Structure 1
Amino acid sequence: MIVDLDDLSSAADLLTRALDLPEDAAEAGMLAGRLAAPPAGRPVTRLTADDGTGLVFASINDADPRLGHVELLAVRPEVRRRGVGAALLRAAEERLADLGAERVRLGGNPPCYAWPGIDVRYTPAVCLARRAGYRLTDTAWNMTADLTLRSAEAARDEARLEATGVKVLPAGGDTPDWVRSIWGDGWAWEVEQSLDRGGAGCYVAVRDGEILGFAAYGANRPSWFGPMGTAPAAEGLGVGRVLLRRCLADQRAGGLTTAQIGWAGPIGFYSKAVAARLERIFWIYTKAL
């Protein structure tokens, strides 16, 4: 039987057992807590099998109330292929329909999310999506930055910026409002999280008191970088490279050897700036209810 999930500590334990990829299992507790604290006003539903063998987190899109997201579905390995995942997915679809959803996406509901979609290495999840009538509608990817690599250009780029009057500083409380004015509420929310959470941070590039760009890390997951943006008037100055490297340096100092650039783009920029490589590929599935 599928029931409401009330105990997040049990969710963290289940995810640790159910997430097959080590990079996900290592952040299992944080993932459960992150998805349990979305932006204010977001309708959510959290369900579990009453025997504790699986769970599902789902929510309504912040911008489109007719779109639901199944953000996380996990089943313990020893009971897979017994219908637990299918039952959880059906229950989530019913709850989302009750909340007004007309279609459901198997993927992240930004700005608060665990993954963009289904990592293609989670083969049972891909099989479940196909059996349940979902169709592949989009592809997303992460890039991996090797934090053990040091850029010979980093110090030179920072010095060049400073020579033009641009300083890179830790972000202040006014940064979310500035981000909101250009990129909207989603990125502003992520910046707010990066300022309030341990293992997270945000930097800004400033000239004559004017913010020219920002970069954040750890807003949703400690090992993930982003979002990052440069004001249109500052494009071409090289602000992004310096901000990116500052954030990655913090993550390296925190003990990480790699960082994930989540939902990455543009690929060429990250490849050139920090030798990041395409690695995690996510398939996003959608179904009309």
Structure 2
Amino acid sequence: MVTYRYYQSGDEKKIVKLWNDSLHIDPITSERFRNLVLLDANFDPEGLRVAFDGDQLIGCLYSVRRLLPMYGTDLEPDNSWIPFFFVHPDYRRLGVGTKLMEEAIAFLAGEGRSNLFFASYAPNYILPGIDEATYPGGHAFLKEQGFERQYTAVAMDRNLIGFQVPSDVVELKQQRVSEGYSFTTAQDKDLYEVIQFANKTFNPDWGRAIREGILQGLPLHRILIAREGSKLVGFCIYGGYEGVPDRFGPFGVDPDQQGKGLGKILLNECLRYMRAEGLHGAWFLWTGEKTSAGHLYKKTGFEITRKFDIMKKSIN
């Protein structure tokens, strides 16, 4: 007999095992599960739904709403997220996933949420959305449950073996420096400004990534900043997410400064630093393929490695 409940202390070992038995392309360690889920400030045991057949865990679905503001006082009271779900291969198409989803939606609706996203949850998303090529069954399940695609994000990788900054970028940097721009690694005096710049110009999750990365040991030489005179106009980082050194980002240039090649300079400088550390590659999980950033990455040698559909459902 299949029974359903929410997370209880001790379930985590079975959850990690079933995760790795079900999501072979995206395995997880106990430590990473602990950091991204159990230690998340927004974690609520009632949102982590589990299904058992006797003592055997056969399904899991994690739903979450914001308990701690990402920035300021905004708790996004209408929004909620499902960062992941999975069902044991032997129990699929038997209604287990549907029941887990129903329980999660009842929980979130009871908390006043009206929008449910898969899986664009910050700060601790596992993947940006559903990878249809890798998980066609999961993609079909979300559509059956009434989720609709909002947009598609792409993950990209670049091999750094033999990388060198192209001569035209070297010349462009020299030109911008002669015009009063500077490109340096961060120092303590820059940190407040770059965090606020990331928060206000782009996304509060970017400012959080910088702050928490540094608290967790991110070396300041992995943060590159661009200034026009004394004004901060751009930055890029590597090794900021989960301490993974070859993970690139976040990365942004002041919209008022775009068209001057500052992003191209920062990106290539960052890749040069990464190669100087002995890294063999650079990768990230989330950008828009057709955005200016997406075009820049492609021109700099990045290739698309995965695509993710960010899905949404109204629940109230």
* Same fold? TM cut 0.5: yes
Deviations 1:222-263 (A, max 9, x none): 354332211245333322123223444555547453412523
* Number of equivalenced pairs: 285
Task: Name the residue aligned to 2:128.
Answer: 116
Q: Distance in 1 between matches of 2:75 and 2:230?
A: 33
Sequence identity, in percent? 21
RMSD of the alignment, in Å?
Answer: 3.3
Contact 2:235 2:251 in 1 (8 A): yes
Give distance in 2, aligned partners of 1:271 and 1:82. Answer: 43
Question: Equivalent residue of 2:57, what SS?
Answer: coil
Residue 57 (structure 1) aligned with residue 83 (structure 2): no
CA distance in 1, matches of 2:51, 2:271: 39
* 1:215 to 2:236 alignment: yes
The one-letter code matched in structure 2 to 1:262 is W
**AA of the residue aligned to 2:64:** S
1:228 corresponds to which residue?
251
1:204 is aligned to: 225
Residue equivalent to 1:167: 183
Task: Look at both structures and tell me which one has the larger radius of gyration over its CA atoms.
Answer: 2
Where do 1:1-289 residues align within 5 Å?
A: 1-7=4-10, 8=12, 10-21=14-25, 24-25=26-27, 29-30=31-32, 33-38=35-40, 45-50=47-52, 51-60=56-65, 64-120=76-132, 121-148=134-161, 150-153=163-166, 155-163=170-178, 164-170=180-186, 172=188, 173-174=191-192, 175-197=194-216, 201-220=222-241, 222=244, 224-249=247-272, 253=277, 255-264=279-288, 265-266=291-292, 267-272=294-299, 274-289=300-315
Distance 1:139 1:125 in 2: 16
Residue 28 and residue 210 in structure 1: after superposition, are their counterparts in 2 closer, same or farther (change >3 A)? Answer: farther
The question of whether the paired residues in 1 share the 8 Å contact of 2:210 and 2:240 is answered with yes
Residue 212 to residue 68, structure 1, CA distance change in 2 (3 Å): same
Name the TM-score, length of structure 1 as normaliser.
0.80
Structure 1 residue identity aligned to 2:85? L
How many Å apart are 1:125 and its aligned residue?
0.6
Distance 1:123 1:236, change over 3 A: same
Question: Aligned-pair distance for 1:156?
Answer: 4.7
- Provide closer, same or farther for how the CA distance between residues 119 and 158 of structure 1 changes in structure 2, counting only shifts above 3 A: same
Question: Secondary structure at the residue paired with 2:127?
Answer: coil
Q: Is residue 18–residue 58 contact of structure 2 (8 Å, CA) maintained in 1?
A: yes
One-letter identity of the residue aligned with 1:214: F
- Deviations for 1:47-71, whole angstroms, at most 9, x for unmatched residues? 3334333322222266632222111
In 2, the alpha carbon distance for the partners of 1:6 and 1:159 equals 58
Conservation of the 8 A alpha-carbon contact between 2:199 and 2:206? yes
Give the Å deviation of 1:101.
Answer: 1.4
Please give the alpha-carbon distance, in whole angstroms, between the structure 2 residues aligned to 1:250 and 1:25.
29
The amino acid of 2:225's aligned partner reads V
Q: Per the alignment, do residues 9 and 207 of structure 1 end up closer, same or farther by CA in structure 2, a change over 3 Å counting?
A: farther
Q: Is the 8 A contact 1:199 1:254 kept in 2?
A: no
- Name the CA distance, whole Å, in 1 between partners of 2:16 and 2:23: 10
Question: CA 1:218/1:128 → structure 2, altered by over 3 Å: closer, same or farther?
Answer: farther
Q: Is the 8 A contact 1:194 1:217 kept in 2?
A: no
CA distance in 2, matches of 1:196, 1:16: 30
For 1:17, what is the secondary structure of its paired residue?
helix
What is the deviation of 1:122? 0.9
